[in-house]
Chains A and B, each alone.
Chain A
Amino acid sequence: MLTFLLKRSLGILPTLLVVSFISFWVIQLQPTSFIDTYLEDPRFSPETVERLKIQYGLDQPVMVQYFNWLWGIITRFDLGYSFVNNRPVTSLIGEYLWWTIEVAGLSLIFSWLIAIPLGIFTAVRKNGLVDSVASFFGYIGLAIPDFLLGLLLFSLILGFGGTNVGGLFSNEFIDAPWSWAKFWDHLNHLWPAILVFGLNHIASLQRQMRASLLDVLNQDYVRTARSKGLAERIVTYRHAVRNALNPLVSSAGFSLSELVSGTLIGAVVMNLPTLGPFMYSSLLAKDQYVVMSILLLSAFMLMIGNLLADIGLAAVDPRIRYD
């Protein structure tokens, strides 16, 4: 197991290197850079712009810039400099990362709490009323884009006289120190986001759970358990559900990264201070180091998610052994 872990973790590194290069290259392809926009500003003389370029190392050849960036990340965990915010990217991303993980994590927990029992129920009572209703809403849930869901929910909240739309805090609390009032305000802003992201995720999770449990319920050992005379409840929960959960548990890491990057547009609509909207606004502002870093980070999270999935699978399923 340890060798497998080590091997898989080390296996990430070359891919990560290529990913970092592509992240960099995609930004180099952009038609204009942030410093170029200074040229159109009459307050900046061409000499100033030239000096800025030298200061940020943007006058050097592209490959040198790339290796400087990479070297900064490896040696000092320095992801570059945000021109828009006049701050190092690393500390900026740290702030956004916290909210991102909070929203994604809570959405994940929420969707699990709903989807797993629902999946079990619909598998046990296959083709029943609840099953039909759930599969109908599941189809809708898969078809409705999260940004549309966010828009609808916010309109509804406003329609009912609520004001908790947009962001994770009301304006007066953004810079205030933590207090119960701020916490309450935060919760009020949090639940719409969790509901929107959760609902999209529940649809696919419930289908997976249902399919997985149906597979297991058809297996011989379940029949054996039944013929032993065990109560149906015990057969389902002790014998079947445990095994049916394996593929889902193992993919939780993967879904977390999906909840981080897959909800980008919904998060933009809901104006959340998370990584997705931050990347979007930085992309529009041509804040290149921020965009590169978030691309790299989100790819890294996806790879970690896959790695966790493999480890999780090995941990919960004794039949799987990697050598």
Chain B
Amino acid sequence: MSAVVSSGATPQEKVSFSLWQLALRRFKKNRLGVVGFWILAVMYFIALFAGFFAPYAIETQHYQSPLQPPQPIHIVHEGGLRLPFTYPMNVTRDPVTFEKNYAEDKTNPQTIKLFAKGEEYNLLGFKTNLHLFGIENGFYFPLGTDKLGRCLFSRMVVGSQVSLTVGIIGILISFSIGILMGGISGYYGGWIDMLIQRITEVLMSFPRLPILLALSYVIPANWPSTYVYLGIVAVLAFIGWAGLARVVRGLVLSAKSVDYTQAAKALGASDLRIILRHIVPNLTSYLIVTASLAIPGYILGESALSFLGLGVKEPMTSWGILLAEVREGGFGVLTRTPWLLIPGGMIILSVLAFNFFGDALRDAADTQTRN
């Protein structure tokens, strides 16, 4: 409908904007929201081409360098400027504690090459060995390694595929159920409304985390990791739809009594047409905003489950799993192996970005309060 308005406007008249264009304008004014959007765009882009951005495969164990600290990038070698390079790490053992100590080998600079050849991997169905960066001799671990000597940066990049998609897929599932249930409940009323309302009531009377834990423990431990992943998403979505169904029901109830819906009904429009053409368009902005604000809950939920060992499992990896390794190492992490906490930073960053983005969307979609 809005498209008709804007295309019908003659050029010499004042240009009129559709609702979506107005919302986009308001959104662009919110700087934090735009920043959030770009952070997310970059994160999802990297997740999509994770194999390319990760220098090594996530399961490759570099036995010679477990728990190696991150290798800094330098540009000055022996007083002279060079292309960005890194020094390999030399291992020495403390004679008393037998702890491994890493020190940079300042005599052997290794230039970091862009588009370097490395391990072969599968990129969107194609086999290739091209990586964004790498060095020719030895190994370069930008964020250090874990206790098995696996590259933390690679694991984090590949792990983002799990952590970032859990929210999207989870929302798709829970919104489909929520909208369907809420829509049926609000539109048809009667006994089916009663039934659905009771179901949502029961679901909502369980606190989220305990029931999440109990349900995720149902997933058999001997399933392949992709099934476990889907199972976790399903569990998260199953908990999430009830609240949405309630709100959708309320919105449908109010949209049902509006004059244009009544008019459509009087004209003999079918139920499906009324729902799809007259009711759903009124809900879209609300649903988009709710979705973007609900995704952080899924990201946090997945990381929490994986952290406890009830979520996604090896050989898959996620930010939660990476943090679980920190927990195994005890509380001395901040002094001994602080780089292992970086995946936690990614969780915070992605949730922050979603919150910024969602808040800005909500303000942009809000047509009631205008400044």
Binding site for B on A (CB under 8 A): 15, 18-19, 22-23, 26-27, 29-31, 139-140, 142-145, 147-148, 151-152, 154-156, 158-159, 165-166, 257-258, 260-262, 264-265, 268-269, 276, 279-280, 283, 291, 294-295, 298-299, 301-303, 306
Contact = CB atoms under 8 A, between A and B. Distances in A.
A140 to B, nearest CB: 7
Given A264-B213, A295-B210, A144 B348 contact: yes
A155 B336 CA distance: 10
B348 A26 contact: no
B218 A143 contact: no
Interface of A is mostly: helix
Interface in B325-364: 326-327, 331-335, 341, 344, 347-349, 351-352, 355-356
A143 B355 contact: yes
Nearest to A26: B214
Interface of B is mostly: helix
Contact of A22 (B202, B207, B217): B202
A154 B327 CA distance: 11
Interface stretch (B9-17, B92-100, B303-311): B303-311
Interface string B203-227: 0011111110111011011000000
B201 interface: yes
B213 A279 contact: yes
Nearest to B221: A31
A176 B221 CA distance: 41
A23 B220 CA distance: 18
B210 A140 contact: no
B89 interface: no
A148 B207 contact: no
A84 B109 CA distance: 58
A158 B331 CA distance: 7
Contacts of B326: 151
A283 B217 contact: yes
B335 A299 contact: no
B243 to A, nearest CB: 13
B242 interface: no
List the 3 shortest-distance A-B pairs measured between CB atoms, nearest first: A155-B334, A261-B207, A143-B351
A166 B332 CA distance: 13
A144 B351 CA distance: 8
Contacts of B134: none
A158 B296 CA distance: 31
A148 B351 CA distance: 14
A258 to B, nearest CB: 7
Nearest to A262: B209
Contacts of A165: 331
A156 B338 CA distance: 11
20 contacts: A15-B201, A19-B202, A19-B205, A26-B214, A26-B218, A27-B214, A30-B218, A139-B352, A143-B352, A145-B300, A151-B326, A151-B333, A154-B331, A155-B333, A159-B334, A165-B331, A261-B207, A262-B208, A265-B304, A276-B210
